[in-house]
Amino acid sequence: MIDPLHVDQAIGNFLAEDIGFVDLTSTLLIDADRQGTFDINAREEIVVSGIDIAARVFELYMDEVEIDLRVKDGERVGKGAILARVTGQARKILTAERLALNLVQHMSGIATQTAVYVDRIAGTKAQLVDTRKTTPGLRMFEKYAVTCGGGRNHRLGLDNGVMIKDNHIVVCGGLANAIARAKATVPILTKVEVECDRLDQVEEALAAGADILLLDNMAPDMLSEAVRIVDGRIPLEASGGVNLDTIRPIAETGVNFISVGRITQSSPAVDVGLDEAA
């Protein structure tokens, strides 16, 4: 879940960006005392994410508003489903409409695409996880959306764990040296993950005390061999070039996690609209 303080701060910045000095259109066309009731509708089948955050947009922008949430984040709904009903000052509802819809469209898009990936690996031991390939300023929203779609979060930020990648290894003068340096001073509850793209690195990292291995761009046969070498002693994450065509064969190798950057980086927004209630 996202801390409410973070949500409110972000929404305040987003509203300021969108409105500027004043919403000229709504202010000029709609009387201040005009009331209205509007529905947020799904215009295609989606996995919902961000409906509470969309509701919070209206709550923060308006003095008095009544919001009737019809669904919860994580629910799969069909085309035409009413996600929420918003009642209040029509001028302000229409001013805040675009931001509320942008957030729920983007987040539900990520949740919907995540669910497709999760469904592809059903019945295997592998779990889908996200990456740090997120939109600056929207990371917490996007990673929350992944969980709504049934995925799990990897690192939320660089301070969440140690991940030793190829460039770190080069600068440290070798894989074993990098692991030893990290393990000597890492906080005691923090895991050290090491990226490997060859099987000899898998053996070296395992011997040096890595807590998790990231198997980068390995073909399924090589992944299977890495799983055999590690033999369940530490978790294994597969990453690199994962898509809907390749994820099932990767999952069937026996890895524990599969990280997919494209679920946060390039999931299409879903079609959600706001219409006057019938």
Note whether 128 and 261 are same-domain residues: yes
**Active-site hit among 125, 165, 198, 228:** 165
Looking at residue 85, what is its pLDDT? 98
**Active-site hit among 76, 85, 98, 262:** 98
Task: Concatenate the DSSP letters of all residues of 95-113 into one string.
Answer: HHHHHHHHHHHHHHHHHHH
Q: What is the 3 state secondary structure string of 8-58? A: HHHHHHHHHHHHCCCCHHHHHHCCCCCEEEEEEEECCCEECCCHHHHHHHH
Looking at residue 228, what is its pLDDT? 98
Contact 35, 111 (CB under 8 A): no
**Mean pLDDT across the chain:** 97
What Rg do the C-alpha atoms of the chain give, in angstroms? 23
Answer yes or no: 18 catalytic: no
For residue 108, give the CATH number of its domain.
3.90.1170.20
Note whether 111 and 126 are same-domain residues: no
Note whether 60 and 125 are same-domain residues: no
Quick one: average pLDDT of 79-104?
Answer: 98
Note whether 98 and 213 are same-domain residues: no
Contact 65, 90 (CB under 8 A): no
Instruction: Evaluate if residue 45 carries a pLDDT over 90.
Output: yes
Give residue-wise pLDDT tens across range 183-239: 999 999 999 999 999 999 999 999 999 999 999 999 999 999 999 999 999 999 999
Note whether 24 and 100 are same-domain residues: yes
- Domain count for the chain, please give it: 2
Answer yes or no: 125 catalytic: no
Looking at residue 10, what is its pLDDT? 97
Indicate if the alpha-carbon torsion angle 248, 149, 96, 35 is positive or negative. positive
Note whether 110 and 124 are same-domain residues: no
Looking at residue 90, what is its pLDDT? 97
Contact 245, 220 (CB under 8 A): no
For residue 144, give the CATH number of its domain.
3.20.20.70
Under DSSP, is residue 181 helix (H, G, I), strand (E, B) or coil?
helix
**What letter would DSSP give residue 209?**
T
Q: What residue has token string 């009903």?
A: 85
Q: Give the span between the Cα atoms of 205 and 211, in whole angstroms.
A: 9
**Active-site hit among 39, 130, 216, 237:** 216
Give residue-wise pLDDT tens across range 127-170: 999 999 999 999 999 999 999 999 999 999 999 999 999 999 99
Dihedral pair phi/psi, residue 195, rounded to 5°: -85, 130
pLDDT-based confidence at 17, cuts 50/70/90? very high
Quick one: average pLDDT of 100-128?
Answer: 98
Looking at residue 278, what is its pLDDT? 84
Q: Give the span between the Cα atoms of 67 and 48, in whole angstroms.
A: 17
Residues in the chain: 278
Contact 194, 234 (CB under 8 A): no
Q: Which domain holds residue 39?
A: 4-115+269-276
Q: What is the pTM of this model?
A: 0.95
Answer yes or no: 133 catalytic: yes
Contact 214, 155 (CB under 8 A): no
**Active-site hit among 142, 195, 211, 237:** 195
Answer yes or no: 216 catalytic: yes
Residues above pLDDT 70, as percent of the chain: 100
Strand 35-42 with 236-239, pairing: unpaired
Answer yes or no: 193 catalytic: no
pLDDT-based confidence at 274, cuts 50/70/90? very high
